[in-house]
Amino acid sequence: MVVGAHYGLRDWLAQRITAAIMAVYTVILLVVLIGGAPISYAVWKDVFAQGWMRVATLLFAASLAWHAWVGMRDILMDYVKPAGARLTLEVAVLLVIAGYLGWSIQILWR
Amino acid sequence: MANATIRKPRPKYLSLGALLFEIRLPLAGWVSILHRISGLLLFLAVVWLLFMLDRSLASEEGFEAMRRYAGLPPVKLALLALIWAYCHHFCAGIRFLFLDLDKGVDLASARLTSALVIAASLALTAWLGVLLW
């Protein structure tokens, strides 16, 4: 018998793939920042002005959005039992994540 | 059953006091719950971090304002806590990826890698803290 909503494996996998993407980005960002000139406004601005860095940062933000959604939903499923409260919080988390993502795009392509 | 024994009330160990002082988590348990706590913390902090990124990239004055802001002791402390949360989430996450691949699941290596994760994330936090300030 097959039961369930069938999103478990996909989310489990997404959680890990997005984690790997973010880990690689973290290392790249550290190398760029530590390997470059001492951070001034000009250096800082230039780092995020490069096309590849903007795309990589957007990929990081999108990974974070998906990763955070799966993680926060896991937390809500574990600790918030009343269905109404859980649904309300899940919607709130989704709205916050959408806001984060929109703001990130705005910051990157100002 | 005819002669069912009278059920003795089972002890309940999930009071707050028990959670805090009686249930002793093994090291791997600490890594796991701290992974969850650090993840929640990071999720909530993104709004603040985006605010600082936004201001610092917007203008020269904004950048300098954020640099001064990050130097304030309470801000510095909060940032260090977030850096720790990121480092712990990062290291513990890598440990979980190896566990998914069935690597390091026996008791001895699970304990060893738990200790490594806690030590490595603290060391990384200290290193990044020194680098930033």
Say what the pTM is.
0.89
Best B41, B50, B88 residue to mutate vs chain A (most A CBs within 10 Å): B50
Decide if B10 is inside a domain. no
Task: Look up the CATH number of the domain holding residue B30.
Answer: 1.20.1300.10
Question: What is the total count of domains within chain A?
Answer: 1
Write the pLDDT tens digit of every residue in B115-129: 999 999 999 999 999
Burial status of residue B114 (CB atoms within 10 A of its CB: 0-12, 13-18, 19 or more): buried
CB neighbourhood size of A18 (10 A): 22
Q: Is residue B31 part of a domain?
A: yes
pLDDT tens digits, A2-27 = 678 888 889 999 999 999 999 999 99
Yes or no, beta carbons of B63 and A41 under 8 Å apart: yes
Residue of chain B nearest A70, judged by CA positions:
B39
Q: Has residue B87 been placed in a domain?
A: yes
> Does B43 sit within 8 Å of A72, measured CB to CB?
yes
Contact yes or no for A107 and B50 at CB 8 A: yes
Dump pLDDT digits (tens) for B85-110.
Answer: 999 999 999 999 999 999 999 999 99
**Number of C-beta neighbours around residue B21 at 10 A:** 9
Residue A3 located in a structural domain: no
Assigned domain for A83 exists: yes
**Residues in Cβ contact with A90 at an 8 Å cutoff, skipping those fewer than 6 apart:** A72, A73, A76
Structural domain includes residue A1: no
Query: Are B57 and A72 in contact (CB < 8 Å)?
Result: no
Q: What is the pLDDT of residues B28-75, one digit of tens each?
A: 999 999 999 999 999 999 999 999 999 999 999 999 999 999 999 999
Residue B66 lies in a domain: yes
Domain that holds residue A100: 8-108
Looking at the domain assignment, is residue A80 inside a domain? yes
List CB contacts of B44: < 8 A, sequence separation 6 or more: none
Is the complex ipTM higher than 0.90? yes
- The verdict on residue B2 lying in a domain is no
Into how many domains does chain B fold? Answer: 1
Residue A62 has a pLDDT of 98
Q: Is residue B46 part of a domain?
A: yes
- Please check whether residue B132 touches A, CB under 8 A: no
Which residue of B lies nearest to A16 if distances are taken between CA atoms? Answer: B97
Measured CA to CA, the distance from residue A60 to residue A26 in angstroms comes to 9
Residue A2 covered by a domain:
no
* Full residue range of the structural domain in which residue B113 is found: 25-132
CA atoms of B46 and B82, how far apart (whole Å): 10
Establish if B9 belongs to a structural domain: no
A28 within some domain: yes
CATH number of the structural domain spanning residue A94? 1.20.1300.10
Residue B64 in domain: yes
